[in-house]
Structure 1
């Protein structure tokens, strides 16, 4: 990995940490707050691509694990990896990777609509698929109650996906960070 790639990974881990300064919003009856940090997950994947986006979130989680209070609400340390929000945290590197992979797959015809779709699939579907079961287990609520409780996050997450799509499209047009190999001519 090049020095520039490491700098991008560190930069986006820092962006997720800065988004943690925005106070979490408590949701009635749901033990998981609304945070701005999933916007950082979406941005990392859609701007950096699969590998670097996933690594940025792994780096961020490593910083959390050593105790830095960089999660929304000033949380950090190993304890956050065994509570109701743990699944959401575990999902972040996977979500960034999926968003980045979809971004790379659609790169040649990439626009804000494709980016929005990639952010919805990776940043909402993947995050919920991993987060909801963990919340069910750690909050001792039924899976269906955890699933229904997650509905309160959808409007905000759609807004975050939209913002990330606009940013990613703008970055791609002005300063593309994702570099794909040139197309090889077909041999007959």
Structure 2
């Protein structure tokens, strides 16, 4: 198993991606009556995993969750506070953490290729988040699992587009600025270039 030491600037990378997740939530959330608001925050979660990897991407999401818990208005519509964790959308919010981790694990499991990054963004950003979100949405919202899953169908097209955007942005960033990525990813790039 290769070591993945954190560099001093990793804290800055993690903070930047936590801020990105917050900003993507504040940019024009689309309210859906009775449902989870449509935001671009899952794009930030996908990018955190594809760029930073599982440890750093998970840390970025964890920072956002802590900011929510202490009451900062960092979610769609300026929401924040412990009350968010009692609402029916909490599962999707909590699902961001395993989503970023799985995304990072898949994306950084080998050479950073378009198909691996896309697979990572799709799997980590959709089924993993949904696997946590749907059951809690059903339980807290008083729906059956089938009803909650049916509500989620409305998010599939947007989340698929976010996965494509995350893939393109990750690969462009990798070409333009490799220092944004963990040392192991940069080292793999150097080995294939040699």
Q: Given the two structures, how large is their TM-score scaled by the length of structure 1?
A: 0.91
Residues 147-183 of structure 1 deviation map (CA, whole Å, 9 limit, x = unaligned): 1110010000000000000011111222221321868
Does residue 54 of structure 2 align to residue 63 of structure 1?
no
> 1:186 is matched with which residue?
none
- Using the alignment, how far apart are the partners of 1:169 and 1:82 within structure 2? 37
Write the mapping of 1:41-56 to structure 2, written as runs, cut at 5 A.
41-56=45-60
Unaligned runs of 5+ in 1: 184-188
Does residue 21 of structure 2 align to residue 21 of structure 1?
no
Does residue 130 of structure 2 align to residue 137 of structure 1?
no
- Using the alignment, how far apart are the partners of 1:73 and 1:42 within structure 2? 21
> 2:160 is matched with which residue?
158
> 1:117 is matched with which residue?
119
- Using the alignment, how far apart are the partners of 1:10 and 1:22 within structure 2? 18
Match of 1:94, SS?
A: helix
- Using the alignment, how far apart are the partners of 2:32 and 2:113 within structure 1? 33
Pick the structure with more helix per residue.
2
- Using the alignment, how far apart are the partners of 1:77 and 1:3 within structure 2? 30
Deviating beyond 4 angstroms after TM superposition, the runs of 4 or more aligned structure 1 residues are none
> 1:83 is matched with which residue?
87
- Using the alignment, how far apart are the partners of 1:178 and 1:85 within structure 2? 32
Across the two proteins, how many residue pairs are aligned to each other?
Answer: 180
RMSD (Å) for aligned C-alpha atoms? 1.4
Unaligned runs of 5+ in 2: 1-5, 189-194
Contact residue 38 and residue 160 of structure 1 kept, 8 A: yes
